[in-house]
Amino acid sequence: MTDRHDRPDAEPPRRLTAHVEAARLEPGLYLVATPIGAARDITLRALDVLNSADQLAAEDTRVLRHLMDIHGIPLRGRRILAYHDHNGDRARPALLAALAEGGSVAYCSDAGTPLVADPGYRLALDAASAGARVHALPGPSAALAALSLAGLPSDRFLFLGFPPPTKAARLTWLRRWLAVDSTLILFESPRRVNRTLDDLCEIDPNRITVVARELTKKFEEVIRGTAADLAADPRMATLKGEVVMVLDRPSAVEVDEDRLDRVLLEHLRTMSVKDAARAAAEDLGLPKRDVYQRALGLADDS
């Protein structure tokens, strides 16, 4: 999860005591989870790999260098290769070549777990496709930290990344995902949280929503309420830092069967069964799966 413009000024390097082992690593790509705020939220295995990998790569080389300084891990002549959205196609061949030669490559995103809203996906895919071993080093995740704090059902959840930046696309996106019977987790820029809440209110103002910001940091804050409550909260217009939003699953909606049939029949006049079911589900706020079964029955009867 990354929003460089909202990251607070980095604290001065402070050495943290930990026993870090230097050992020859098995060849392969190591996806290293790093802290989302508190520097001590890192595993000993992650420190071992950062200390021992032949090649280091990071979404932001400055962030990884600062983390290594804090934990007293020397570069020993190693160079940290930048790998991000804007240079991935150019930087990837060098990392794949290092893997092909039997080297060990450690990749870190700016913060949290690599490949979660992160450019490392293509690197991991190409490495695996080339026959390299890919190792996951689990650790901090802003999405899971927010879910654990949200107080919402966690037996079934869906991570959505960032919503579209424009209103029309965002409304279409929200309508699609709000119908899913699952707790939803999304990242959002603090500058757009109030707009996303306003759009959410147009669709489901009573949806329980949690806005979590600056997780594990000094100014951590978790704000809960309905979408309408939060949209009216003046704090939403002045948020700073990295933000995770968690939305409750849809509540059960009682709809008269005659009304459902009328809406479906109207859509079936001009649409396929699948499209009519989707449109009716959006109109009435019902699960698409249930509406589709009813649409099939009506189509068979007609």
Q: What is the pLDDT of residues 276-301, one digit of tens each?
A: 999 988 888 777 888 998 899 888 77
User: What's the CA angle centered on 187, arms 199 and 117, to 5 degrees?
Assistant: 135
Cα separation, 126 vs 103, in Å, equals: 15
Q: Can you state the percent helix, strand and coil of the chain, rounding each to 5? A: 40, 15, 45
User: What's the CA angle centered on 251, arms 249 and 253, to 5 degrees?
Assistant: 140
Domain boundaries 4-140, CATH class:
alpha beta
Dihedral class, residue 131 (left if φ above 0, else alpha if ψ from -120 to 50, else beta): left
Cα separation, 245 vs 170, in Å, equals: 14
Tens digit of each residue's pLDDT, the chain (302 residues): 544 434 444 455 555 545 566 678 999 999 999 999 999 999 999 999 999 999 999 999 999 999 999 999 999 999 999 999 899 899 999 999 999 999 999 999 999 999 888 889 999 999 999 999 999 999 999 999 999 999 999 999 999 999 999 999 999 999 999 989 899 999 999 999 999 999 999 999 999 999 999 999 999 999 999 999 999 999 999 999 999 999 999 876 666 788 889 999 999 999 999 999 999 888 887 778 889 988 998 887 76
What SS3 state is found at 30? strand
What SS3 state is found at 109? coil
Domain ranges of the chain: 4-140, 143-247, 257-301
Q: Which CATH number fits domain 143-247: 3.30.950.10, 3.40.50.10320, 3.90.1150.10, 3.40.50.2020?
A: 3.30.950.10
Cα distances (Å, whole numbers) of residue 280 to 215, 219, 262, 302: 39, 43, 10, 18
pLDDT of residue 302: 64
pLDDT of residue 116: 86
pLDDT of residue 219: 94
CB atoms within 10 A of CB 15: 9
Cα separation, 281 vs 300, in Å, equals: 19
What SS3 state is found at 120? coil
